[in-house]
């Protein structure tokens, strides 16, 4: 019996081709897949079908470059044994299914609502009456931070249980940014509206999320993507990585009150995002990535400007980083702060930088390459300590690696594809999945169409979904005054999580 269908990244298949298993088989099959280290869960969600709930689980196979999709049809009022009981990395997906559809799990350790979405099953469950973890001890104390952030970035509530200065436990509550994006994808029928929605999922990952969306859309429509489109998407993804990583280094310096680093890295970020402005008229690259077309073709002249930019960027960056990493007061703050072990990162299913800092090879650019990444033969940068310093080093090395990639790409700028291939409408009863390695980690978009070819369900997974738990684990037994530094070193998305 076929238990799953194996597909490639950005491949669209008929919904009927996904095998429907009995829930017990579904559970046993997927959890047994996860026992092997080269498998990880990229998305697991439910969508209503014929008054029942169709659960779809997508497991990525990193060795074979495939995604194994299986499904199960369950009744809406069922009580089920949980996946999480067997592998912790499913916890966030099952909590989401529980929150949205009221499915009960008999052995899920922690059915905390993840974002109090507008269309949640239990309207009475609100942030106001959510029971946070409490302490009875006289010696411990509780510190609540947020939801208004001290630096007014994005809202999130953090509740610490501390013993003096030492953090015993951190509970993170998000959902303050919930906008109902997945639902809006169904309500907004125009492609442009949907593209703009994708651009607004997380303001710092505009290229990442939009690339995931357009790749998905083009695959649903059977559009053959030209070399010029792939080129500009790959280039934009790497540029976004450079820009945000540099900004993060500046923010890390700011949090440890190292003024020189904060000023210099901050200055270095500006020309990179300004290059987006020159290219497409927006510093965050909004408007750059569009399905089936490119409004801002990349020219030789732009290429030369970019090379010139790197000529100035690289020496300054290297000099500043050398200064930064040799300063004892900086290293004293970064080393051995906020450690996440490899076992922890693996069990919670961390992705992106948060996985690579602990020595886990998890990078879509290598395992499921899209656009021009197959040509680049990406080798992920790995660190093994899982502390703030590892996350800093990864950023530095990824910046230099991305510059190399961009230089390689610029040697061969493809001509604009003038053949006016039209985007067709999406095929009916189809399922498509798209994985993209944004700067933060793996972004997964899934879409299901109905018999008319309209989107029936749209599912977004930002890398932050997995990684927030890594932050909560990293601060345990650290000092509470190091929390902001740990938080910044992960730099997770609030709105990407809240959708």
Partner 1 sequence: MKVLNLIYIIAASLFFNGIIIRTKSIFSGRMGPGIFQPLKDIWRLFRKGAVYSQTSSFIFQIAPTIYFASVLMAVFVIPFGGQPGLISFKGDFVFFAYVLALGKFFMIISALDTGSSFEGMGASREALYSMLVEPAFFILIGSFALLTGHTSFYEIFSSLHFGSYISYRIGVLAAFVLVIIAMIENSRMPVDDPKTHLELTMIHEVMILDNSGFDLGLILYTSSLKFAMYGAIIANLFLTPGNEWYYSIPIFIGIQIFFAVLIGTIESFMARFRMNHNPEFIFALTTASLLIFLGVLLILGKII
Q: How far apart are CA 256 and CA 262, in angstroms?
A: 9
* Binding map of partner 1 across residues 102-141, x = CB under 8 A, - = no contact: ---------------------------------------x
Give the residue with the Cβ less far from partner 1, 59 or 339: 339
Taking CB under 8 A as the criterion, which residues in 445-484 touch partner 1? 479-484
Is the C-alpha dihedral spanning 164, 169, 172, 173 positive or negative? negative
Question: Of 145 and 400, which CB lies nearer to partner 1 in the complex structure?
Answer: 145
Residue 137 or residue 329: which is nearer to partner 1 going by CB?
329
In this complex, which beta carbon is closest to partner 1, that of residue 2 or of residue 150? Answer: 150
**Candidate residues 253, 280, 320, 350; the one interacting with partner 1 per rule CB under 8 A:** 253
Kindly tell me which residue out of 48, 109, 144, 315 binds partner 1, with binding defined by CB under 8 A. Answer: 144
145 contacts partner 1 (rule: CB under 8 A): yes
By CB under 8 A, residue 248 contacts partner 1: no
**Please, which residue, 58 or 170, has the CB nearer to partner 1?**
170
Closest to partner 1 by CB, 79 vs 481, is: 481
485 contacts 256 by C-beta, under 8 angstroms:
yes
Cis previous bond, 147, omega within 30:
yes
- Comparing CB distances to partner 1, the nearer of 57 and 256 is 256
Q: Is 105 left (phi over 0), alpha (psi -120 to 50) or beta?
A: beta
CB of 344 to partner 1, least distance (A): 22
Tell which phi-psi region holds residue 358, choosing left (phi > 0), alpha (psi between -120 and 50) or beta. alpha
Question: Does the protein bind partner 1 through residue 278 (CB under 8 A)?
Answer: no
Of 478, 371, 444, 2, give the one whose Cα is nearest residue 205.
Answer: 444
Q: Does 387 bind partner 1 (CB under 8 A)?
A: no
Interacting positions 325-354 with partner 1 (CB under 8 A):
327, 329-330, 332-333, 337
Choices 113-121, 221-229, 248-256, 388-396 (CB under 8 A): range interacting with partner 1:
248-256
Among the listed ranges 130-138, 191-199, 324-332, 353-361, the one in contact with partner 1 (CB under 8 A) is 324-332
Question: Is residue 302 part of the contact set for partner 1 (CB under 8 A)?
Answer: no
Instruction: Tell which one of 20, 111, 263, 400 touches partner 1 (CB under 8 A).
Output: 263
Instruction: Candidates 186, 257, 307, 322: give the one binding partner 1 (CB under 8 A).
Output: 257
Nearer to partner 1, 264 or 394 (CB): 264
2 is an interface residue for partner 1 by CB under 8 A: no
Q: Which is nearer to partner 1, 75 or 166 (CB)?
A: 166
Minimum distance between the CB of residue 315 and partner 1, rounded to whole angstroms? 16
Residues constituting the chain = 499
Q: Does 154 bind partner 1 (CB under 8 A)?
A: no
**Residue number with CB closer to partner 1 (70 or 390):** 390
315 counts as binding partner 1 under rule CB under 8 A: no
CB of 487 to partner 1, least distance (A): 9
Residue closer to partner 1 by CB (options 76, 260) is 260
- Is residue 316 at the binding interface for partner 1, with CB under 8 A as the rule? no
Binding mask 159-188 for partner 1 (x = CB under 8 A): ------x-----------------------
Assess 397 for contact with partner 1 (CB under 8 A).
no
Positions that interact with partner 1 (CB under 8 A): 141-145, 150-151, 165, 253, 255-260, 262-263, 267, 327, 329-330, 332-333, 337, 479-484
């Amino acid at each position: 019996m076929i238990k799953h269908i194996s597909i490639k990244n950005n491949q669209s298949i008929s919904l009927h081709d996904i095998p429907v298993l009995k829930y017990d088989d579904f559970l046993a099959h997927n959890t047994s897949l996860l026992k092997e280290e080269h498998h990880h869960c990229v998305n697991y969600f439910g969508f209503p079908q014929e008054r029942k709930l169709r659960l779809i689980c997508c497991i990525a196979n990193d060795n074979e470059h495939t995604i194994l999709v299986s499904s199960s049809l369950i009744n809406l009022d069922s009580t089920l044994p949980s996946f999480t009981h067997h592998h912790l990395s499913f916890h966030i997906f099952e909590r989401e299914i529980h929150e949205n559809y009221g499915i009960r799990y008999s052995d899920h350790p922690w059915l905390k609502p993840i974002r109090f979405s507008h269309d949640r099953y239990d309207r009475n469950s609100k942030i106001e009456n959510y029971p946070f973890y409490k302490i009875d001890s006289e010696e411990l104390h509780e510190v609540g931070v947020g939801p208004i952030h001290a630096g007014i970035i994005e809202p999130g509530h953090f509740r610490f249980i501390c013993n003096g200065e030492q953090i015993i436990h951190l509970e993170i509550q998000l959902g303050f940014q919930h906008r109902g994006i997945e639902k809006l994808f169904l309500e907004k029928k125009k492609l442009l509206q949907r593209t703009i929605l994708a651009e607004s999922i997380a303001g710092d990952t505009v290229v990442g999320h939009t690339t995931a969306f357009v790749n998905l859309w083009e695959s649903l429509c059977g559009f053959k993507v030209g070399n010029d489109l792939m080129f500009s998407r790959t280039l934009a993804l790497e540029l976004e990585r450079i820009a945000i990583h540099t900004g993060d280094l500046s923010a890390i310096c700011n949090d440890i009150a190292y003024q020189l680093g904060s000023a210099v890295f901050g200055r270095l970020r500006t020309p990179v995002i300004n290059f987006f402005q020159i290219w497409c008229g927006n510093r965050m690259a909004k408007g750059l990535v569009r399905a089936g077309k490119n409004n801002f073709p990349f020219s030789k002249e732009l290429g030369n400007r970019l090379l010139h930019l790197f000529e100035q960027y690289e020496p300054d960056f290297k000099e500043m980083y050398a200064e930064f990493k040799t300063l004892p007061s900086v290293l004293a703050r970064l080393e051995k702060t906020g450690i996440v072990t490899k076992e922890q990162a693996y069990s919670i299913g961390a992705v992106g930088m948060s996985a690579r800092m602990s020595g886990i090879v998890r990078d879509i650019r290598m395992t499921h390459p899209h656009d021009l990444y197959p040509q680049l033969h990406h080798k992920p940068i790995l660190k093994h300590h899982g502390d703030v310093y590892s996350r800093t080093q990864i950023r530095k090395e990824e910046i230099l690696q991305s510059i190399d990639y961009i230089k390689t790409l610029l040697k061969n700028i493809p001509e604009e594809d003038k053949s006016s291939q039209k985007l067709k409408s999406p095929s009916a009863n189809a399922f498509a999945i798209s994985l993209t390695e944004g700067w933060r980690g793996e972004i997964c978009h899934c879409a299901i169409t109905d018999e008319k070819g309209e989107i029936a369900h749209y599912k977004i997974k930002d890398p932050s979904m997995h990684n927030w738990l890594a932050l909560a684990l990293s601060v345990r037994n650290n000092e509470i005054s190091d929390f902001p530094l740990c938080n910044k070193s992960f730099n997770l998305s609030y709105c990407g999580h809240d959708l």
